[in-house]
Amino acid sequence: MKDEIKNKTVVMMATYNGSKGIIAQLESIRNQEVTPNYVVMRDDGSTDGTVEMVEEYIQTHQLSGWTIRRNEKNLGWRFNFRQLLMDGLATDANYFFFSDQDDEWYAFKMNRQLEVMASNESMQVLSGDYDVNVENYKYPRELDRSERISKYPREYNYVNHRHGWTFCMRRSLVALVSKHWKENYFLSHDNLFTSISGILETGYNLNESVGKHIRHENNASGHDYFSMRSSNERNLQELRMYIDFFDVVENVLSDLNRNDVTKVQDIKSFYQRRYKNAKEKKLLPILKQLVVDRRYYFGFTGMMRDIVFAFKK
């Protein structure tokens, strides 16, 4: 094992009413081949005894560096993970791992990902494949799996390739992104780090299963999908999310003195215009936007969406 792998690690877990499955996940983390130096957890208002269960588990196994905190108010899973990043940065860890409360990690997960990261210093995010407890499951995005490691495609878009709990991330990127992720930015940690590392060409996927994803009705990722049936308010929230995302990307690229910052500024300006037109619901500016800004749309569906919501009450 290379010296770099001896650097410290932090696991960041968001909890909410997870009493049914959280012990199995805690066991899978505790029994990793590489013991995490820190496991920081934030509970978002559980009413089923999750916090007490975790506290008892920590005490029973005398787990130094493991903590769970209760949020003063319910943040929602997006902002809870944002706060967990701040908690992680308060440690001296070099490698950061997200964790959900109800999946299970294979014992080699951290060790294998750290080994891969150590062999490629330019790699800032390494996700992994996973097994699922349901049939006919599809990954968020299909990647080229002809090699052991796949590089994320470079897309100036808010996308995701794998769930955040499969990520291993370097502190440098976590610190840079967190610096610009403002408290009111309604963003998903998965998409944010997938997208930015893809743009920076530092994001990769390990085409091997690193754990088991447990699908059930309470999965956070399974709720609140945007569709043409969503409300006008939800449509505006979604467009606002893209503005916030590209604001983070713009600031990250600016800090790195990247030439493509102007490209991102143009895209952000497009979403600002799109948000304004959607909010004012004026058909003529929307139709003009479909022609003038056509190159900024990611397919025909986005264009249809603007027309549909222009007529929706």
Using a cut of 0.85, tell me whether the model's pTM lies above it: yes
pLDDT value at residue 141: 66
Query: Rounded distance, CA 265 to CA 256, Å?
Result: 15
Q: 193 and 303 share a domain?
A: no
pLDDT tens digits along 77-87 = 899 999 999 99
Number of domains observed in the structure of the chain: 2
Pairwise CA distance, residues 260 & 105, whole Å? 37
pLDDT computed for residue 51 by the predictor = 97
Q: Is the domain of 146 the same as that of 41?
A: yes
Q: What is the CATH number of the domain that holds 143?
A: 3.90.550.10
Closest CA to 249 of 231, 235, 268: 268
The pLDDT value given to residue 133: 76
Among 222, 249, 283, the domain-final residue is 222
**Closest alpha carbon to 43 in 6, 5, 81:** 81
Q: What is the pLDDT of residue 135?
A: 64
Confidence at residue 140, expressed as pLDDT on a 0 to 100 scale:
66
Q: Kindly report, residue by residue over 97-141, the tens digit of the pLDDT.
A: 999 998 999 999 999 999 999 999 999 999 999 998 766 666 766
In a shared domain, residues 195 and 247: no
Residues 183 and 280 in one domain: no
Both 276 and 131 in a single domain? no
In this structure, the answer to whether residues 212 and 71 fall within a common structural domain is: yes
Domain that holds residue 160: 3-222
pLDDT at position 1 is 45
Q: Which of 285, 288, 308, 289 has the alpha carbon at shortest distance from 297?
A: 289
**Which of 279, 188, 308 has its CA nearest to residue 242?**
188
